[in-house]
């Protein structure tokens, strides 16, 4: 082939790539794409094509088999895989998980799946906020490598008879108030772990109990996955980011600040020397009832390692709150370590 015709073909390939990238940026359907450059087929999930020196960033698929093909290629290139499981309607809290995952240098898989198995019959499964195209855009900007957004049929093609249950840890807090919730969570996360086979998985401490449950599941089942916790991301005024915040009226949004304010107050009270978990819980309940119209689901202080009951606060504790504002149930929490509070006092 003469140099001239080579360059011509290369240019043609580049033009095709640019067209392709435009399509990717608008509405990329992974299956639609077949890419040929200089007579050889280039797999559409190729993350960088030498010839064109153009990066194709966004890959998205709703198919388990396609995701596995993409991951097999990345793995064969020596990439580690990081998984960020979400239910979508992304916000900065989710994106903080992506950022942490990307910092490890891993190939990042963001899953979006509103998992019917973890919703009770009277919960908000059907009204849970969903906007896949918006999420895809946010994921792309955040540098996610693959967006996996399976349908319910893809995840549960036949009625499930196999479940994963992480006992004890799922009997308290949200587990006690939402029977079957953590069985649904552990089952779907376990399925995602088997589909993706990640080296690491990222979970927000916003759902602290969920993080502990997944960490325990991984330990108990000897899964070779590092479970990485990520601190809670809050609005400037303290409200923990949550996909469900969109359901709050302006008034409820204002009242919901009582959650983070109560957690801050718990810290202050501990710092001042109070050590009785029951007294502290009572104080927080009164504060929430006085300061808002929120209906308390629970206000509890538990051991931060295993969620066991705490009488005297001596070890690190989890202060956990669940409160309903209208039909919107919000959760928030803070881990408090008495020793570090005392140390800080000494420093002052
Ligand atoms: P979700 O889509 O609500 O199921 O959340 C997906 C993941 O994002 C979970 O690991 C959550 O704990 C995490 N997450 C949600 N909100 C926040 C937040 N405000 N800060 C940190 N992580 C969060």
- CATH number, position 160: 3.40.50.620
Q: Are residue 147 and residue 40 in the same domain, yes or no?
A: no
Q: Are residue 69 and residue 208 in the same domain, yes or no?
A: yes
On whether 257 is known to bind a ligand per the annotation, the reply is no
Q: Are residue 41 and residue 75 in the same domain, yes or no?
A: no
Residue 123 lies in a domain: yes
Distance from residue 246's CA to the centre of ligand 1 (Å): 15
pLDDT of the residue at 23: 52
On whether 210 is known to bind a ligand per the annotation, the reply is yes
pLDDT of the residue at 338: 85
Rg (CA), the chain: 23
Q: Are residue 25 and residue 63 in the same domain, yes or no?
A: no
Please count the other Cβ atoms lying within 10 Å of the Cβ belonging to residue 74.
19
Q: Are residue 159 and residue 96 in the same domain, yes or no?
A: yes
184 lines ligand 1 (CB under 6 A): no
Q: Are residue 223 and residue 250 in the same domain, yes or no?
A: no
Query: What pLDDT band is residue 33 in, cutting at 50, 70 and 90?
Result: low
Long-range contacts of 126-134 (CB under 8 A, 24+ apart): 128/87, 128/89, 128/243, 128/244, 129/88, 129/89, 129/243, 129/244, 129/246, 129/247, 130/88, 130/89, 131/88, 131/89, 132/88, 133/27, 134/90
Number of domains in the chain: 3
Q: Taking 70 as the threshold, does the pLDDT of residue 2 lie above it?
A: no
Residue 52 lies in a domain: no
What are 204-221's pLDDT values in tens digits? 999 999 999 999 999 999
User: What average pLDDT does range 142-150 have in this prediction?
Assistant: 96
- Out of 230, 263, 288, a domain closes at 230
Least confident of 36-40, 109-113, 219-223, 250-254: 36-40
3 state DSSP class of 333? strand
Mutate which of 87, 89, 97, 110 for ligand 1 pocket (most atoms within 8 A of beta carbon): 97
114 lines ligand 1 (CB under 6 A): no
The span from the CA of 151 to the CA of 255, in Å, is: 36
Tokens coding 305: 């390692």
pLDDT of the residue at 340: 76
pLDDT of the residue at 243: 97
Q: Taking 60 as the threshold, does the pLDDT of residue 54 lie above it?
A: no
Q: Taking 80 as the threshold, does the pLDDT of residue 343 lie above it?
A: no
User: What average pLDDT does range 40-46 have in this prediction?
Assistant: 54
Residue 178 lies in a domain: yes
The span from the CA of 216 to the CA of 190, in Å, is: 12
**Contact indicator for 313, 277 with CB cutoff of 8 Å:** yes
pLDDT of the residue at 348: 41
pLDDT of the residue at 19: 56
**Contact indicator for 240, 112 with CB cutoff of 8 Å:** no
Q: Are residue 61 and residue 204 in the same domain, yes or no?
A: yes
Distance from residue 204's CA to the centre of ligand 1 (Å): 5
Q: Are residue 7 and residue 124 in the same domain, yes or no?
A: no
Q: Are residue 76 and residue 206 in the same domain, yes or no?
A: yes
3-class SS string, 170-189:
HHCHHHHHCCCHHHHHHHHH
Q: Are residue 19 and residue 83 in the same domain, yes or no?
A: no
On whether 207 is known to bind a ligand per the annotation, the reply is yes
Could you tell me the pTM of the whole model?
0.85
Residue 50 lies in a domain: no
- Out of 172, 206, 230, a domain closes at 230
The span from the CA of 97 to the CA of 232, in Å, is: 10
Our answer to whether residue 94 is catalytic in this structure is yes
**Measuring from atom 11 of ligand 1, which residue has the nearest CA?**
204
pLDDT more than 70, % of the chain: 81
Q: Which residue has the higher pLDDT, 129 or 49?
A: 129
What are 87-133's pLDDT values in tens digits? 999 999 999 999 999 999 999 999 999 999 999 999 999 999 999 99
Instruction: Please identify, by atom number, the ligand 1 atom nearest to the C-alpha of residue 234.
Output: 19
Q: Taking 60 as the threshold, does the pLDDT of residue 242 lie above it?
A: yes
Q: Are residue 212 and residue 78 in the same domain, yes or no?
A: yes
On whether 103 is known to bind a ligand per the annotation, the reply is no
Residue 237 lies in a domain: no
Q: Which residue has the tokens 């079957």?
A: 180
* Kind and range of the H or E run holding 84: strand 81-86
Tokens coding 273: 């020397």
Where would I find the beta strands (DSSP E) of 146-286?
146-148, 200-204, 226-230
Tell me the pLDDT of the chain averaged across its residues.
88
Q: Taking 90 as the threshold, does the pLDDT of residue 35 lie above it?
A: no
Residue 317 lies in a domain: yes
Residue 238 lies in a domain: no
Query: What pLDDT band is residue 339 in, cutting at 50, 70 and 90?
Result: confident
In terms of residue numbers, what domain contains 8?
Answer: 1-45
Domain harbouring 336, CATH code: 3.30.1300.10
**Measuring from atom 14 of ligand 1, which residue has the nearest CA?**
204
- Out of 170, 195, 230, a domain closes at 230
Q: Are residue 194 and residue 343 in the same domain, yes or no?
A: no
Residue 235 lies in a domain: no
Q: Taking 90 as the threshold, does the pLDDT of residue 39 lie above it?
A: no
């Amino acid at each position: 082939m003469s140099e001239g015709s080579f360059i011509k073909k290369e240019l043609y390939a580049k033009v095709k790539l640019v067209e392709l990238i435009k399509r990717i940026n608008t509405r990329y359907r992974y299956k639609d794409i077949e890419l040929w450059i200089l007579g050889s087929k280039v797999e559409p999930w190729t993350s960088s094509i030498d010839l064109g020196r153009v990066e194709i960033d966004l890959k998205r698929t709703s198919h388990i088999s396609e995701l596995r093909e993409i991951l097999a290629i990345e793995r064969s290139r020596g990439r580690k895989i990081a998984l960020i499981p979400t239910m979508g309607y992304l916000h900065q809290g989710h994106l903080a998980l992506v950022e942490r995952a990307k910092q490890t240098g891993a190939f990042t898989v963001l899953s979006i799946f509103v998992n019917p198995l973890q919703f009770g019959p009277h919960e908000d499964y059907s009204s849970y906020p969903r906007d896949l195209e918006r999420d895809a855009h946010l994921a792309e900007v955040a540098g996610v490598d693959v967006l996996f957004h399976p349908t319910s049929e893809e995840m549960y093609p036949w009625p499930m008879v196999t479940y994963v249950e992480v006992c004890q840890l799922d009997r308290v807090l949200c587990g006690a108030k939402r029977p079957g919730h953590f069985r649904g969570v552990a089952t779907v996360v376990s399925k995602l772990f088997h589909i993706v086979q990640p080296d690491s998985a990222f979970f927000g401490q916003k759902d602290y109990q969920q993080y502990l449950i997944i960490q325990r599941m991984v330990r108990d089942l000897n899964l070779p996955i590092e479970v990485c916790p990520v601190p809670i991301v809050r609005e400037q005024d303290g409200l923990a980011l949550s996909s469900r915040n969109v359901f709050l009226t302006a008034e409820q949004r204002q009242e919901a600040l009582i959650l983070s304010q109560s957690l801050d107050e718990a810290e202050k009270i501990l710092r001042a020397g109070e050590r009785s978990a029951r007294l502290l819980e009572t104080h927080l309940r009164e504060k929430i009832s006085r300061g808002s119209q929120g209906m308390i689901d629970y206000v509890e202080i538990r051991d931060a390692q295993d969620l066991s009951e705490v009488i005297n606060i001596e070890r690190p504790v989890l202060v956990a709150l669940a409160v309903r504002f209208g039909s919107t149930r919000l959760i928030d929490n803070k881990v408090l370590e008495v020793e570090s509070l005392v140390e800080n006092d000494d420093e002052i």
